Amino acid sequence: MIQLNSICKSFEGRTVLEDINFSFENGKTNLIIGQSGSGKTVLMKCIVGLLTPESGEILYDGRNLLDMGKREKKALRREMGMIFQSAALFDSLSVLENVMFPLDMFSNDTYRDRVKRAQFCLDRVNLIDAQSKYPGEISGGMQKRVAIARAIALQPKYLFCDEPNSGLDPKTSLVIDDLIHDITKEYNMTTIINTHDMNSVMGIGESILYIYQGHKEWEGTKDEVFNATNERLNNFIFASDLLQKVKKEENSKARKV
């Protein structure tokens, strides 16, 4: 579990995050949502230690990130997996070598064991047959799956995903969502996903934090979204005509029950 207590962050006197309190639970897909400029990216960077808030606590299973020394932070980072918006694969390395990269950097295992672990992770995301290919030779969706395999190579306790569906078609986005959700359950990780994809919210939003202008505006689950009375949340979630129709149908079903 990752717990945020009264997180505040500002830049040059401008408040970006103010009094953010939230708990990201183990074994669940925890989503941070909000409009562009709402502060969700800054919050993610604070959680992983790329930015330091002016006040508050960031507790990793009770350990406060903001009180850690260099050695403790280094050990904690080994427990983190990252999926970047652009996949961030190395073009000069094969798919297998990309997945092996964190193992080469942080593991003391033999080369044979590192290869075996990387192949296991690629098999888990159904890409074992692509291990000899290079990133430029595979599709965007496959690149995201390689990024997921790399992120779980070190068997992390915490998984961070920054817009994992960015640039993908709707069908491929669902595949990525399901894969992240299944891996979260399988390894009981604390997964945090920074997203504006409403399909992700409706599909895997087991725990949702909605930020508006640096404030926590709402929290709940995908099942509670349809009955939420927060006007700002509703304007954000149901901005499209299609989602407005979906909400009306869900509310109609609820009344019949």
- State mean pLDDT over 162-189: 88
DSSP letter (8 states) at residue 25: P
Architecture of domain 1-79+158-175+187-257 in CATH?
3-Layer(aba) Sandwich (3.40)
- The closest of 195, 237, 212 to 19, measured between CA atoms, is 212
Break the chain into its structural domains and give their ranges: 1-79+158-175+187-257, 93-155
- The reported pLDDT for the residue numbered 255 is 59
3-state helix, strand, coil in the chain (%, to 5): 45, 25, 30
Mean pLDDT of the chain: 89
Entry field: residues in the chain: 257
**DSSP sequence for 152-181:** TTT--SEEEEESTTTT--HHHHHHHHHHHH
How far is the C-alpha of 137 from the C-alpha of 205, rounded, in Å? 32
What pLDDT does 201 receive?
A: 86
Query: Phi, psi at residue 128, to the nearest 5°?
Result: -60, -30
Higher-confidence residue: 69 or 247?
A: 69
Segment (H or E) for 6? strand 2-11
**Looking at the whole model, is its pTM more than 0.75?**
yes
Q: Average pLDDT in the 165-176 region?
A: 85
